[in-house]
Amino acid sequence: MSIGEALAQGREQAGMTVTQVSDRTRIRASIIGDIEHDDFSSSLGDFYARANIRDIAKVIGIDPAPLVQDYDATHIPVDESELDADTTPELTAIEAGSIQDELGMTAAFARPPAFARPPESAGSLTRRRGLSIALVLLLLVAIGVLLFRLADPPQNAATTGAAQASRGAHSAASHSVSPHQQPAASQVSPPPASTSTAPARPLIPVSVAAFGPGGTSQGDNPDLSRGATSADSALPWRSSWYTTPEFGGLKSGTGLLLNMGYPVTVTTVHLTLAPARGTDLQLRAGNTPALSSLRTVTVGTNLAGSVWLHIAQPVSSQYLLIWLTRLPPDNFGTFRAEISGLRLQGTG
């Protein structure tokens, strides 16, 4: 049995999906898929490939040592394999420190091996100790600022229409927008009912699917999309994680496509986002499930937590797209969005 087959079989026996393994290891799902097919090219080198194999094996509960030995036997020349065998204890010791887990870094950017350094003079050691103390103090200050910002109540800004309002304007926990004014002050309660002659009622989508720039085939974590309608914020739909709020330059956005089954008029949308501020989104509507065919009806910036979006000029449409254009920070030094508690109101 090959390395990839052993890892795939172990993951299935552990009852885990590729997405769940990715969340636990911080290794991209595409890299895990390549490894399960014995393609190690996306690991960017033998050192990182070994680290990825070890991390995946530990998460699914199998012994990584035989798999790493198989990798060395089949991918490393004899002289390099012997060198790796000499340095394996040092690398294992580094792993035992759980540095990667604490920092939440992906195994694709794992630590390089340590190298011996020549003895330092007493003056050099003193300077290094002083620098270390300064760095620790700087880290404590940064942690204090972060805790202060997290303690600050979420502030959301939602705007209506195709044009996006200035970032940071009128932030609050949740907003509604009237058709004749810019976003008003913070409102915790739902927006006012539609002025339509027919009373608004709850609308339930026929399906909810992860959606990317090219359609549902490019959506993030499609197996988690059902969590968007869950009232349990502990089981949301989550996007993939990215290195920057703008998706690491990999795509223009990501989101969820709601198929209502037939044309309806949606007037308000409620959803619960990640607790950290920073989510920008567009609410798009149309009768064709293509990004270019879904026009923007509401825009929200710097959102977090519970959000009500009010559509000032509702349109009749079969499809509604919650399109994320900027991601908030997560707890691992990366960026990802989440959606739960999705509720729609309207007529039709």
CATH of the domain at 45: 1.10.260.40
Q: What is the extent of the structural domain holding 23? A: 3-109
Question: Is residue 124, in this structure, part of any structural domain at all?
Answer: no
Look at residue 170 and tell me whether its pLDDT is greater than 60: no
Global pTM?
0.50
Query: b or e along 32-58 (b: 16 or more beta carbons within 10 Å of the residue's beta carbon)?
Result: bebbbeeebebbeebbbbbbbbbbbbe
Asked whether residue 134 is assigned to any structural domain, the reply reads no
Across residues 36-61, what is the average pLDDT? 90
CA atoms 123, 129, 131, 134: torsion sign: negative
26 or 348, higher pLDDT: 26
- Terminal C-alpha separation, the chain: 56
Tokens describing residue 260: 């209502």
Q: Using an 8 Å Cβ cutoff, are 302 and 278 in contact?
A: yes
CA distance 287 to 269: 18
Residues 237 and 301 in one domain: yes
Q: How far apart are CA 5 and CA 25, in angstroms?
A: 19
Q: Check residue 77 and give its pLDDT.
A: 64
Q: Is residue 118 assigned to a domain?
A: no
328: domain CATH number?
2.60.120.260
pLDDT at position 264: 95
Give the whole-angstrom CA distance, residue 293 versus residue 56. 41
Are 219 and 320 members of one domain? yes
Per the structure, how many domains does the chain have?
2
Please provide the average confidence, as pLDDT, over all residues in the chain: 77
Q: Indicate the pairing of strand 207-211 with strand 316-326.
A: unpaired
Last residue of a domain, one of 74, 109, 144: 109
Alpha carbon 259 to its chain's center: 23
Q: Which token pair is 144?
A: 């204090």
Quick one: 259 and 324 in the same domain?
yes
For residues 34-62, give the mean pLDDT.
Answer: 91
